[in-house]
Amino acid sequence: MNDSMNILILSCGTRNKIVQYFKTELKGRGKVIATDCSELAPALYDADKHFIVPRMDEEGYVDIILSICKENNIKAVLSLIDPELNLLAENRQAFLDIGTTPIVSESDVVEICFDKYIMCEFLIKNGFKTIRSYIDKEEFYKDVESGIVDYPVFVKPVKGSASININKVSAKEEIDLLFDNHDNLMIQEFMDGIEYGADCYIDMISNETVAIFIKEKIKMRAGETDKSVSVKDDKLFELIKKFIKVSGFKGIIDIDIFKVDGEYYISEVNPRFGGGYPHGYESGVSIPKMIIENIAGNINENVIGKYDEGVYMMKYNEVKIFKTTK
Ligand SMILES: Nc1ncnc2c1ncn2[C@@H]1O[C@H](COP(=O)(O)OP(=O)(O)O)[C@@H](O)[C@H]1O
Ligand SMILES: [Mg+2]
């Protein structure tokens, strides 16, 4: 059991596919263990073993996860939800001390991802095109007057996720109303073009970007890619590689990019498996396999762009049935 490659997936929720992919790729060389704070998280029941844990903001949570890792000889741990990523990054050493590798970028990099305005400043500072953004609405109004920016615009929370409270806005009155009722909003130029999602893996040993899978988003639903088609684009591969190198990401990331008038604009990064990742996996880009190679001590070969173009993904619902023994 000592050399088994057990993997722990935290806050697995409804991400059954991710649990299944790890099981498939481990080929019996280790177990997939999943946690969630709700016993009604369906993905728990696809894992080899599961634990119901407290909510991540409860005191002592990290210690509980650490003891699960220790007792179950966990080699790698990852989380599927945003607020937990920094918890893993900040406690990296405590996990490493017990032989568990957190599959996540460094804490400072994770922090940048969760503040869309800071990400925007970071992109500008490093010479990448990004979406013109404002957190000060008066500054925005001034730029409207001087013709630098115009309606429609996109208003969203600086620290938002899952497309919650996103608005396309066409008038000053609407912006005033939104800003009166919500804190921490940002105003962005409306990107009228094509939106892409890129699933990337940065090797945890070599620190090289070894996988990029690009999909054009056709339809979004509840903040997730619902329908998409795979695309290949050398210019975009190069841009993504350069961006990753400058930012220092590690492990899995999911990048949102817009193309407007032939130019690419990096929008945001989720430093975890994106909701649309099944498209990449089913197209042959197996990030779970790359993680397993890394924890076995092997460097992954570069497979950037090694997938077919024109492959469509369409999501649909499934159900999990579970009977208590009570
Ligand atoms: N500036 C923008 N212009 C046009 N559409 C946008 C803009 N910003 C966001 N969107 C749309 O809203 C969705 C959610 O916004 P995003 O910034 O990715 O936040 P999150 O995914 O964290 O909720 C995007 O996938 C995109 O479809
Ligand atoms: Mg997004």
Residue 181 lies in a domain: yes
Nearest CA, atom 1, ligand 1 = 190
For 296, residues 6+ apart whose C-beta sits below 8 A from its C-beta are 5
Under a CB-based contact definition with an 8 Å cutoff, are residues 266 and 257 in contact?
yes
CA–centroid distance, 36 to ligand 1, in Å, is 27
Is 259 part of any domain? yes
Q: Please calculate the CA angle 285-289-290 and round it to the nearest 5 degrees.
A: 85
Ligand 1: centre distance to CA 156 (Å):
8
Q: Check which CATH number belongs to the domain holding 167 and give it.
A: 3.30.1490.20
Of 230, 244, 245, residue with least CA distance to 285: 230
Which pLDDT does position 204 carry in this prediction? Answer: 97
Residue 161 in any domain: the answer is yes
pLDDT at 224: 87
In terms of domains, do 182 and 237 share one?
Answer: no
Centre of ligand 2 from the C-alpha of residue 176, in Å = 24
Say if residue 170 is in the same domain as residue 219. Answer: no
Identify whether 28 is part of a domain.
yes
Domain count, the chain: 3
- Are the CB atoms for 269 and 248 separated by under 8 Å? no
Tokens in use for 111?
């922090």
Predicted confidence at residue 3, as pLDDT, reads 67
- From 81, 132, 187, 256, the mutation candidate for ligand 1 (largest count of ligand atoms within 8 A of CB) is 256
Task: Measure the CA–CA gap between 187 and 184, rounded to whole angstroms.
Answer: 10
- Judge if 196 and 310 occupy the same domain: yes
299 domain residue, yes or no: yes
List per-block mean pLDDT (blocks of 10 residues) for the chain, which spans 326 residues.
Answer: 83 98 97 97 98 97 98 98 96 98 98 97 97 97 96 96 92 96 96 97 98 97 92 98 97 98 96 97 98 98 97 96 82
Amino acid at 26: L
Nearest to 32 by CA among 43, 48, 16: 48
Contact, 309 vs 283, CB < 8 A? Answer: no
Helices and strands (DSSP H and E) totals, the chain: 11, 15
**Which residue, 189, 208, 232, sits at the end of a domain?**
189
Distances 26 to 20, 113, 287 between C-alpha atoms, Å: 10, 30, 12
Q: How far is the C-alpha of 114 from the C-alpha of 298, rounded, in Å?
A: 31
Give the ligand 1 atom nearest the CA of 192: 4
The angle at the Cα of 214, spanning 269 to 46, to the nearest 5 degrees, equals 75
- Residue whose Cα lies nearest atom 4 of ligand 1: it is 191
Q: Say which ligand is closest to the CA of 255.
A: 2
- Specify the pLDDT at position 1: 44
Ligand 1 surroundings by CB, under 6 angstroms: 131, 154, 156, 160-163, 166, 188-191, 195, 220, 223, 256, 267-268
Structural domain span for residue 96: 6-103
List the CATH number of the domain containing 205. 3.30.470.20
Q: Which letter does DSSP use for residue 261 in this model?
A: T
Please indicate, yes or no, whether residues 180 and 198 belong to a single structural domain of this protein.
no
Side-chain-facing half-sphere of 320: CA atoms under 13 Å: 15
Domain holding 48: CATH number? 3.40.50.20
Q: Which residue has the tokens 């009722």?
A: 181
- From 162, 189, 216, give the residue that closes a domain: 189
How remote is the CA of residue 74 from the centroid of ligand 2, in Å? 30
**Same-domain pairing of 180 and 235:** no
Kindly state the helix (H) or strand (E) to which residue 231 belongs, with its residue range.
strand 224-231
Q: Is residue 110 part of a domain?
A: no
125 is a domain residue: no
81 near 13, Cβ under 8 Å? yes
Ligand approaching nearest to the C-alpha of 116: 1
Flag whether 120 is in a domain.
no
Q: Which of 163, 169, 194, 258 to mutate to test the pocket of ligand 1 (most atoms within 8 A of CB)?
A: 163
| Residue 59 CA, ligand 1 centroid: distance in Å | 33
Cis peptide bond prior to 152, omega within 30° of 0: yes
What local confidence, expressed as pLDDT, does residue 12 receive?
Answer: 98
DSSP 8-state code for residue 232: -
Same domain (yes/no): 261, 176: no
Instruction: Tell the residue nearest (CA) to atom 17 of ligand 1.
Output: 268
Domain edge (last residue) among 140, 167, 189? 189
Q: If you measure from the C-alpha of residue 243 to the centroid of ligand 1, how many angstroms do you get, rounded to a whole number?
A: 19
Answer yes or no: do 175 and 222 share one domain. no
